[in-house]
Amino acid sequence: MANIHDIAKRAGVSVSTVSRVLNNHPYVSESKRAAVQRVIDEMDYTPNRVAVDLIRKETRRIGVIMPYNNNQAFDQLLHGVLNRSVELDYTVMVLPTKYDPEKELACLKMLKNKQLDGIIITSRSNAWKAITPYAKYGTIIACEYTDHPEIGCAYIDRYASYLETFQLLKDKGHSRVAFTTARGEESNSTQLTIRAYQQVFGALPPEYQIRDCYSIDDGMHAAKQLLHLDRRPTAIYANGDEVATGIYHYAAQLKLEVPEDLAIIGQENQPVGIGLQLSTVDHQLVKVGEQAFDLAIEKSMEKVEIPYRIIKRPSI
């Protein structure tokens, strides 16, 4: 394939002149510019992006660390990132980790070896202490709040969100409230959920927390465990609308009325919950993704909070 030298030779100019027309630099005579452009078109020449990246020391490419891609929440985040990347002519790399700390670090290393200008961490398994050292090689943006000055954040005040949701349930007269989570205590979200619960309701009966919930099926299993308890919960706060949907279906099988016998509220305002009229806490993850991207390309270490909103529908 033709390179910049071939173009220069055929156009009868130097490579610097070709480079100048390639990058729209001023101080190129119209005649030479036209001649170069003609040869470029003739030869169907495209500059090698890798060579450009090498010399410019930037790639206009950012990575998104995502434990899973087939998950509503991460998908929304990615969607936000992609939205902005297309507008700003950046390119994005998906970095699946399955919460493997080694893999996570390997992804961060792509900053160090110059493959990526920045990385957005949608969720992580490593401690910040292991992550921050990579900030000197490129921008690191988190989709959660952290004090670390070298990390930019596009975050939701999850604690406030959980608190308000539990309080809402309490205000509606519920005292037996259960909830589901994705991961266990190793997860920041889970910890905050538990703390918010305790703040509102006091001690958490262990049987009121069900882990490893991601899908509708998981929601059904969770409901199976919860709805046969002696002290059956009258409300369940699900960690997603799919899970909430599963709970709804299992409750229906038991002929329990929603919300009379069981109040249900989910998270993320997914299409799946709309038909069932499920209440939900929308953490606006698409916006979080967009904001995270913007911070990444601005190399900003700001902490930007994205507001959440509780969407009340008949299920509570």
Partner DNA sequence: TTGAAAGCGCTAACAC
Partner DNA sequence: GTGTTAGCGCTTTCAA
Under the rule (CB under 7 A), what is the footprint of DNA?
1, 3-5, 12-17, 19-20, 22-23, 26-29, 31-33, 46-48, 51-52, 54-57
Which CB atom, from 7 or from 62, has the smaller least distance to DNA?
A: 7
In the complex, least distance from residue 112 CB atom to DNA, rounded to whole angstroms:
10
Residue 265, classed as helix, strand or coil, is strand
| Strand ordering across the sheet containing 235-237 | 209-210, 177-180, 235-237, 263-267, 279-282, 309-311
**Residues of this chain that bind its own copies (CB under 8 A):** 1, 46-51, 53-54, 59, 61, 69-70, 75-76, 78-79, 82, 86, 91-96, 103, 109-110, 112-115, 137, 215-217, 220, 242, 245-246, 249, 271-272, 274-276
Residue 301 is inside which H or E element, if any? none
Residue closer to DNA by CB (options 1, 127) is: 1
CB of 218 to its own copies, least distance (A): 9
Of the two residues 90 and 201, which places its CB atom closer to its own copies in the complex? 90
Cα gap 278→263, rounded to integer Å: 9
CA pseudo-torsion sign 254, 258, 263, 265: positive
Q: Where are the beta strands (DSSP E) in the chain?
A: 61-66, 91-96, 118-121, 139-142, 152-155, 177-180, 209-210, 235-237, 263-267, 279-282, 303-305, 309-311
Torsion angles phi and psi, residue 49, rounded to 5: -65, -30
For DNA, the closer CB: 56 or 79: 56
Q: Which CB sits closer to its own copies, 98 or 309? A: 98
CB of 257 to its own copies, least distance (A): 16
Locate 93 and state its tokens.
Answer: 């790399």
Residue 13 site contact among its own copies, DNA, none (CB < 5 to 8 Å, cut-off depends on kind): DNA
